[in-house]
Structure formats: C-alpha cells, structure tokens
A = this chain, B = another copy of it.
Amino acid sequence: MPVTESATDRSVPSVEAVNTMIGELFPGSNNECAELTPTRAVARRDISDAELRPGAFISGPSQFGIADAALWYLVFGATGRIEPMALTSELSIRFLRPAQGSVLWAAATLDVAGRRNVVGTVRVWCDERADRPTATAQGTYVLPL
C-alpha cells in the first residue's frame, strides 16, 4: 500500500462547490471556476461593457483578475480543499496581444505545491482562441497557517 499518493490521484473539490463558496463569500466576483484538477484550473468570466477600453479592448486589470482567480482555484485543486483565505503573495503578468471578445478565460497549471506556497503558470485568452493567448502570468499563493 503506498504511503503517499501522487497529486493526480487525489480528490479535488467539485467545480460546483468552488462556485458556491465564491457566490457566498465573494458576491462581487465576476469570475467562476470552469474546470478543476490537482494540477490545472480554468476560470471564465463574461465581459461587461465597464471592463472595455476604447476599441473594445478588455482591460489589463480584468485579465490580471482572472489570472489571479485561476491560480486561487488551482490552490483548491492542488491541496484538495477549498481555502478561501489563501492569499496572492506575488504575481507577474505579460500582455501578449490585444484582448477582444465576450468571454475571458484563464488556465492555470501547477508548478509546485508546498506546505506554505502554491506556484503556477497561467495563460489568458478570449472566446475560443486558446491558441492565441492575450496574457501569460506566473504567481504564488500563500496558504493559511
């Protein structure tokens, strides 16, 4: 019998459980969880007109926000539990091309999950154009003690 399980064997919170928590604790959030595994999380967001810059470009802070949300969901997948008080420690983002569309997506993949921190890499894109990322990011979440 194995003493340790690999990350991919571990159970993760359901997408529904994550979205229920967000709706209860963070009703101002516009992001929702669309997919969750121990090593990957996807966030989606319907873009409102208030987030558009002239030319119908989706703003940088909106893209940062969804990248940050995807990393937060990834913490839940990597640790196997919903951690509402996990906090962003640091995040760097690069904007790659103009972002236009009605739905914004972000997929975070796990770099490492330790006892204190979870580090991941995130790609952001619009609508169905996952092959044409509008931003790429990396960041660290710190777990509550």
Contacts and interface: CB of A to CB of B under 8 A. Distances in A.
Nearest to A116: B116
A50 B48 CA distance: 15
A54 B25 contact: yes
Interface string A78-89: 000000100111
Q: Size range of the interface on A?
A: 35 or more
When all copies of this chain in the complex are counted, the total is: 4
Given A51-B28, A94-B140, A119-B94, A88 B60 contact: yes
Contact of A84 (B54, B68, B93, B116): B54
Given A61-B65, A136-B119, A92 B95 contact: no
Given A26-B54, A54-B26, A111 B138 contact: no
